[in-house]
C-alpha cells in the first residue's frame, strides 16, 4: 500500500502481487539463500512454503510438461516460512517495507496473526522478520509482541523507533546473508547458550 | 505408475499430475478435513503446503483478480504436510496406491526422503501416511523405516503384508475422518500417555 495513500480501492489481487513479487523479493531471496546454507551445514531445516495458487485449468501438450493456463493467487492461511531448529518448530513471516518511519500492519494478513498465535500455543517458536529497505536493516520481532500490537485496533502501523527498540537486529553477511538463527539462539535458547 | 507397466517413458509432468490431482485426492481431502478439525479443537496446527508452482506469466485484467496464464508444476523439495503437535515439529508425506499387493517406492521423491532424514536429525517427528485404496486401509509408517526401505536399492516397492506389519492402521471416523494423531500419540508419545 505504501506509495498509494489515496488509492484505497486498489484491488486485492494487486496488493497480493505486490507482496509476492515486488517488495518481498530481496528479503525473500536473502532468507532463501540463508536457509539453503543452514540446510547445507545441517544447522536447521527451514523452507519457504510455495505461493498458494488455485489451479483452474491445465493443458497437457504432447511430449512436454503440463502447462497451467489458468490459476489465481490465494490468500495465504499460514506464514511463509517454517521448519525445525534445535528440536523446536520454527515458524515465521517475512516482510519488507519502503517506509522510513513505520511498518504498516496491513502487510500482515489476519490469518497469519492467528496462525502465529496457534504456533505459540502449540509450543513452537514464532516471529516476524521485518526489513526497513531505506536503512537496509532487518529485525526479528517476536510473535507475542507482534500479536499484541496487531490487536491494538487503534494502531495501523508500528513506528520504526519502536521496532528498533523491541526487535532484534539481524547481522548481515555473505554466508549466510542473514545470520537470523544467531538471533533465534539469543532470543529463544538463552538458558542453553 | 500403476496401471502403466509398459510405459516406462511416461513424461515426468504426467506422473506429477497424477500424484497431485488424481490418486492423491481422496486421502488428501481426508487429511485436510482432519487437520481442519484438529485446528478447530486446538489439538494441533498442521497444514498441507501449497502445490509448488513455477509462475511464468501473469495477466492483470482491469478490476479483476490477477490471472496466472503460464505456470508449471515444480518437483516438491519437501513433504506435503507439516506443523506442530504437543510441542514437537511434525512432518509427513501422504500417498495413495491402487495396488493390492505393494506400495511402489517411486511414489516418493528422493528429496522427500532426504527431507525426512533431516526432519529426524533435527528432532522432528516424521512419517509417511500410505493408503491402500483397494482395502480402504490407511497406515502411518515411521520415517526411519521408510528411509531404510528406500535405501535398499534392490527393492522397488514394499509389499502390502510388510507395511501391514510395520505400519500402524489409522482408524477412520466422521470427525476427524482419519484419527491419525491418536496413532502419533501411540507411536511417539508413549511414555507420556
Q: Which CATH number fits domain B12-50+76-192: 3.40.50.620, 3.40.1350.10, 3.50.50.60, 3.40.50.2000?
A: 3.40.1350.10
User: Who has greater pLDDT, A10 or A86?
Assistant: A86
Separation between Cα atoms, residue A144 and residue B39, nearest integer Å: 19
The tens digit of pLDDT for each residue in A74-96 reads: 988 999 999 999 999 999 999 99
* The predicted structure's pLDDT at residue A192: 64
- Is A65 in CB contact (< 8 Å) with chain B? yes
Q: By three-state DSSP, how is residue A60 classified?
A: coil
pTM for this model (two decimals): 0.84
**Section A5-21 average pLDDT:** 41
* The predicted structure's pLDDT at residue B18: 40
On whether the CB atoms of residues A115 and A78 are closer than 8 A, the answer is yes
Does a cis peptide bond (omega within 30 degrees of 0) precede residue B176? yes
Per domain, the residue ranges of chain B are: 12-50+76-192
pLDDT at A63 over 80: no
Contact A45 B115 (CB under 8 A): yes
Site from A32, A55, A61, A66 to mutate, B interface, most B CB atoms within 10 angstroms = A66
- CA torsion angle A86 A89 A93 A94 (round to 10): 10
The H or E element containing residue B53 is strand B53-59
CB contacts < 8 A, A to B, total 142
The tens digit of pLDDT for each residue in A113-130 reads: 999 999 999 999 999 999
- B139 φ/ψ angles, rounded to the nearest 5 degrees: -120, 145
The tens digit of pLDDT for each residue in A171-185 reads: 999 999 999 999 999
DSSP string of A154-191? T-SEEEHHHHHHHSEEPPB-SSSSB-HHHHHHHHH-GG
**Section A19-37 average pLDDT:** 76
Neighbours of A108 (CB within 10 A): 19
Q: Which CATH number fits domain A12-192: 3.40.50.1000, 3.40.50.1220, 3.90.79.10, 3.40.1350.10?
A: 3.40.1350.10
Average pLDDT score, chain A: 87
- B84: nearest CB among A53, A65, A123: A123
For residue A77, list chain B residues with Cβ-Cβ distance below 8 A.
Answer: 47
Residue ranges in chain B whose pLDDT is less than 50: 1-25
Contact B121 A51 (CB under 8 A): no
Q: How many residues are listed for chain A in this entry?
A: 193
For residue B51, list chain A residues with Cβ-Cβ distance below 8 A.
Answer: 50, 53, 55
Site from B43, B45, B188 to mutate, A interface, most A CB atoms within 10 angstroms = B45
Contact A69 B70 (CB under 8 A): yes
Amino acid at each position: 500500500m505504501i506509495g498509494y495513500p489515496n488509492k484505497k480501492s486498489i484491488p486485492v489481487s494487486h496488493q497480493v502481487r505486490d507482496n509476492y513479487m515486488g517488495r518481498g523479493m530481496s528479503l525473500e531471496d536473502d532468507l532463501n539463500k540463508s536457509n539453503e546454507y543452514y540446510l547445507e551445514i545441517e544447522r536447521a531445516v527451514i523452507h519457504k512454503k510455495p505461493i498458494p495458487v488455485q489451479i483452474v485449468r491445465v493443458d497437457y501438450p504432447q511430449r512436454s510438461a503440463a502447462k497451467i493456463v489458468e490459476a489465481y493467487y490465494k490468500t495465504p492461511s499460514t506464514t511463509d516460512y517454517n521448519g525445525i531448529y534445535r528440536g523446536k518448530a520454527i515458524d515465521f513471516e517475512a516482510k519488507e517495507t519502503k517506509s522510513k518511519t513505520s511498518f504498516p500492519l496491513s502487510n500482515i494478513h489476519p490469518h497469519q496473526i492467528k496462525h502465529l498465535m496457534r504456533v505459540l500455543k502449540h509450543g513452537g517458536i514464532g516471529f516476524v522478520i521485518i526489513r526497513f529497505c531505506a536503512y537496509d536493516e532487518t529485525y526479528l520481532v517476536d510473535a507475542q509482541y507482534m500479536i499484541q500490537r496487531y490487536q491494538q485496533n487503534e494502531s495501523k502501523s508500528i513506528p520504526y523507533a519502536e521496532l528498533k527498540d523491541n526487535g532484534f537486529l539481524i547481522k548481515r553477511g555473505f554466508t549466510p546473508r542473514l545470520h537470523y538463527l544467531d538471533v533465534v539462539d539469543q532470543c529463544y535458547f538463552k538458558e542453553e547458550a
